[in-house]
Each structure stands twice: as structure tokens, then as C-alpha cells.
Amino acid sequence: MIEEKMLVLLRQGRISKWFSGIGQEAIAVGTTLALDEDEYIMPLHRNLGVFTARKIPFAKLFMQWQGSKDGFSKGRERSFHFGTNEYHICGMISHLGPQMALADGVALAHKLNKEAKVSVAFSGDGGTSEGDFHEALNVAAVWNLPVIFIIENNGYGLSTPVNEQYACAQLADRAVGYGMKGITIDGNNILEVYNTVKEAREYCIKEQKPILIECMTFRMRGHEEASGVKYVPKELFETWGKKDPLSNYEQYLQQEGLLSDQDIERIREGIRKEIEDGIAEGFAAAAIVPDTAEEVNDIYKAHNGAARAPQGNASSEMKMIQAISDAMRISMKKYPELVLMGQDIAEYGGAFKVTEGFVEEFGKERVRNTPICESAIVGAALGLSLKGYKSMMEMQFADFVTVGFNQIINNLAKIHYRWGQNADVVVRMPTGGGVGAGPFHSQSNEAWFVHTPGLKVVYPSTPEDAKGLLIASFDDPNPVIFFEHKALYRSVSGPVPEGDYSVEIGKARLVQEGSDASIITYGSGVHWAKEYAAKHPELSLDILDLRTLLPLDYEAIKASVARTGKVMILHEDTLIGGIGGELSAWITEHCFKQLDAPVLRCASLDTPVPFSIELEQNFLAKARIEEVMKKLLAY
């Protein structure tokens, strides 16, 4: 009845879009009713039955669909692209597949909590071709997670028929390849769906294993109403029309004497009233008045990230890698809910041995080797956040983040702004060149993430800052991308305070004060700048270590510009699209009167990072510091 009403409103031009689930209702309703109300479901945009079976008031749903401030996402999301912890639902993003890894993370939390619970993720037949589908199933199987994966096989991925999507006889046949149980059922029989999911839930809890259920069904409308159904043979509508899950179940209940015509009319009248009242309430909702401050403030979950001083004066000489390891050990002890994940991080200790000894100290449940599937692990980290866990994922190399990019950019970064759920995740990124590792192990890709609202991007240059900033990152309930320069791991040492302390995220560090020119930099650039200053004692150089790239410390930048009037921005990243362009633009816009020369950038060549040491040294920005500084000082 909701579907029918929405289609009328769509034809009247009173709503803008609708994804119809007519013909598939039994899957969403049967699955939801077979679960406990506090078990998370990751539905798709054709799963209205998940939301109604969880008894979400229709008025609230309608306001969500209309983009009202009183919906679940303050007008920031459309249709079913939202979540609600109150009803234990985590909605999809438009990219099919990522929600399945979130179910892995929720199930992992159940496992760690020793809870007799499952999580459920939906996929369409089209979504099973996504890499996220394969990664999520593999992780669930390898980690023995209690997840139920539901495939709604309605025969079409938008307009592409299944024979052009996959070659296996049934999608459930894929389960055996992952070492899990697979079942194909009639998705239009609500009793079969309900009983199968009920039994699957018991199986997952008892065996602590995942299961794949393929529900055969058919959608009686287009992918969404604008796309139509001209590509579907007409006889299919006649065939599947006879299998309609609603009319068949209604007839069954009448034949069993459990439902009368009077009952049907009474039920329909109650639903009709709720729908009409909800629509009236929705259309009466006040128009959104944009509040820029609220929009910006809702990007992050509120957090007091003020620096926390060490409790004593004791310090130890540490290499950067030791300081990072120390920060992780302290945070693991402080937060029992913190889980570490990454390739080879357990017994092997990680590619750079940062987590060496951790599995013996904290156990394999909290220090987890992962399959090589970056997207699924980032998604699982977000799933852990839904259950109140903290997590860290180590990208073995920052270069490999590209295969987990979607989860970071579109899920981690946006989820708090979209519906108020924070992503309590730290992604550690061993980065940078100078070690002769070639194009795929040396990239500086921090600018990709600085461009993404909702993330925090941290990039320390000293052991003391590395420890304090990493502890601050674990304290922070928001997603932090934490860059660690590989060449600095063992080449840089310094005094590091003992015990627990933090360095405030978003605050730069004045390395040295000067009056002739400013070098604004971070990471390896800090050491290049100090080396250059030592070679040129005749110059009074102001060196500012940004430490955090998102958010930036604009006050510190402004102060440095005011001290010298001449600015060189130095970074290891390539020139075009690097953060230097953004910094230069900001300084020009806000500090123009203090400038005595154009802002100059010193960056690496706009090429991939070469393997040969000679070529790499020529590639790196360090090779051009003399040239750029000479040009700057000449103004």
C-alpha cells in the first residue's frame, strides 16, 4: 500500500523518485521478522519491508524520502541511503556491495562480545559481481563470522539480465568456493523466507559461521520508475504475477481460516490511515533553512581533542617506528575495545615490524591478520564502529589504499554527516619515497584524503609527535588517516616522553623561528628544511611543521607568513594537485598584505616515483630546494 501510494505521488509530481520493491516484499519482511530487533540489517533501496517490519513510523520515513530536516539524515540523504541505530539498520551507499563488509564488522563485534547474535546484509544479483561481495564473503568465512548474506535475485541488474551477469547455475553455488553453506529458496514465499532465515540464524550462532541465501524473485516495476520495463519480456510479468508474495499469502491465510474479508479491510484501513496521516505530516514539515555552522559542525563527531601532557618528565630515546609501536601498545591497554587489523600484522609483526609482539600480548582476537582485501577490512572497521568498537587498519603500503578507496571516501568520511554515526577508525599509511621502492610502494597520496570532508589527515615528522598524534588519533572518535614516512621509521630518533600523552590534531609545530623566509612543510620535508637551514646559517628561516593536513592550523600558517613575508611550501608529493596548491591559494587570499613575494611551491616531479636511486633523488622535491629558495629570496 505504501508502494502504491508513492507511485501515485510520483505521477502527480509530488515526490521526485521511487525505487519499487513490488514483487519482492516477502524477502525483506520475512528476513527482518526472523531476526531479533537488536540485530543489524544492511538493506538496499528496494527493501522497504525491512523498515516497516522494524516498525519505523511512516511519517518519519516519508520525511526522510522528502529530504525533510526531521528525517533520519536532516535532508542530507535520499530514500533508503541512511541508517538508524535505534532500529538497528545501516543503509546503503549508492555503490553496490560495501554494506556487506559492514555486516562482517558487526558480526565480529558479536563474536568478540560472545553474543548469540547475527548480522544480515542484502545484495542484488547485480551486486554480486562487485569485488566487495567477494571480499566480504571471504572475510566472513575465514574469520568464521555469524553473518547471513541475502541475495535478492530478481533477474535483472537494472536492465542487464542475469545471463549477462554470471555464468554459474545459481549464485548460491558460489558459497562453496568460500567454504560456506549456500541455499537457494523461493523468495516469493514469505513462510519459506522466514523459516529459512530463522534456521540460518540458529546455524550461524551455533556454528559461528556465515551462510549465503539466494532468494529467487522478480521485480514488477523498473529499476526505478523513470527507467521503465521495456527491456523485460511481457510473459515474465504474467508468470511472476501469479507468484505475487502478498496475494498468495493473503489467499493462504484465508484458506487456513486465519484471515477474513473483514480482517483484510480492517488491516487495510489502519494502514491507509497511517499512510495518509504520515504524508500529511511530511508535507506539512517546515522547509529546511540552511545553517552553515551546523553543516560544517556535523562533519565530525564532537570531541575534545586538547593536548594531554605527559604525567612525568621521564623520556626515552626512540626511533619513529618505536614511538609508533609504543603509542599503539598504550592505546591497546587503554581501550579494551580497540581491534587491530592488517595484512601480516599478527605473528609476523607487520611488513615494518610495528606490531611485533602484539599478538602475544593482546591475543589474536584483537590483533588480526587479514586476507588481502583492503575494501572489506575498512568496511569491517566501520561495522565495528556501529557496535561501539575502535579499530585500526594498517595499509601495508599507502599505495595499496586505492583498492579500499571507496570505503574510506564514501563510507568512513561521510557517515557521520549523513546520519550521525561516527566511524571510530584509524587507517595507518606507511608512505613516501627515498628508499628505492619504485612506483607502487613510494607514492605520497595524502592530498587525495585532504580533499575529503569528514576525514582527519595526520602526518608526523618526529618520534615525539608520532607517538602523541597516534594516541590522539585513537582517542578521537572520527576517522583518521595516519601517514608514517617509511624512510623516517628508523632514520630519525629523538626523546619521546614515557607513558600516555597526546598532541592535538590540527595544531602545527614551529620548528624554528626566522625572518628571511618561511618553509611550510610536513613529513620528510621537515628534515629536508632543517638540513637546508643548517647548510645556510646566513639565512634566518622560519620552519613550520604542519603535522596535521586536515584540519589545517591556519593561525600558525598566518603567523609564519607575517614573520617573513616570503613563503616556500615544501612537500614530497607531486606538484600538480598537491596540498601546496591549496596552501598557496589560502595564503594569497588571506595574507596578501603580508607577502613580499609570490608563494612558491617546491614539490616532486609530476611523474610516477622511479625505482632507480639516481632517478628517485632527481624526482624528489629535495633536489629543488636550493633553486626554489634562491628564486624566492631574489624578490
CA 161, distance to chain mean position in Å, is: 31
The fold of the 2-283 domain, in CATH, is Rossmann fold (3.40.50)
| C-alpha to C-alpha distance for 452 and 445, rounded to whole angstroms | 13
What values do phi and psi take at 338, rounded to 5? -85, 125
Q: What is the DSSP string of 135-160?
A: HHHHHHHHTT--EEEEEEE-SEETTE
Q: Are 341 and 381 in contact (CB under 8 A)?
A: yes
Mean pLDDT by 10 residues, the chain (635 residues): 92 86 95 98 94 96 93 90 95 89 98 98 94 97 98 88 91 96 98 98 98 94 77 89 95 96 96 96 94 97 96 95 98 98 97 97 97 97 98 96 96 96 98 94 96 98 98 98 97 97 98 98 98 98 98 98 98 97 98 98 97 96 97 97
At residue 119, the 3 state secondary structure works out as strand
CATH class of the 315-497 domain in this structure: alpha beta
Residue written as grid cell 522497504: 48
The fold of the 509-633 domain, in CATH, is Rossmann fold (3.40.50)
Question: What digits encode the pLDDT tens for the residues 569-625?
Answer: 999 999 999 999 999 999 999 999 999 999 999 999 999 999 999 999 999 999 999
Q: Quick one: which of 402, 399, 489 has its CA closest to 439?
A: 399
What values do phi and psi take at 58, rounded to 5? -60, -35
At residue 312, the 3 state secondary structure works out as coil
**What stretch(es) of the chain map to CATH 3.40.50.920?**
509-633
Q: Where are the alpha helices (DSSP H) in 208-244?
A: 234-241
**What stretch(es) of the chain map to CATH 3.40.50.970?**
2-283, 315-497
CB environment 359-372: b (16+ within 10 A), e (fewer): beebeeebbbbbee
Confidence (pLDDT) at 177: 96
Measured between its terminal Cα atoms, the distance across the chain in Å is: 74
Q: Are 560 and 529 in contact (CB under 8 A)?
A: no
45 counts as catalytic:
no
Q: Are 200 and 151 in contact (CB under 8 A)?
A: no
The region, left, alpha or beta by phi > 0 then psi within -120 to 50, assigned to residue 600 is: beta
Confidence (pLDDT) at 159: 86
Which is the catalytic residue, given 134, 441, 527, 571?
441
Q: Are 494 and 545 in contact (CB under 8 A)?
A: no
Confidence (pLDDT) at 231: 87
Residue written as grid cell 554480486: 128
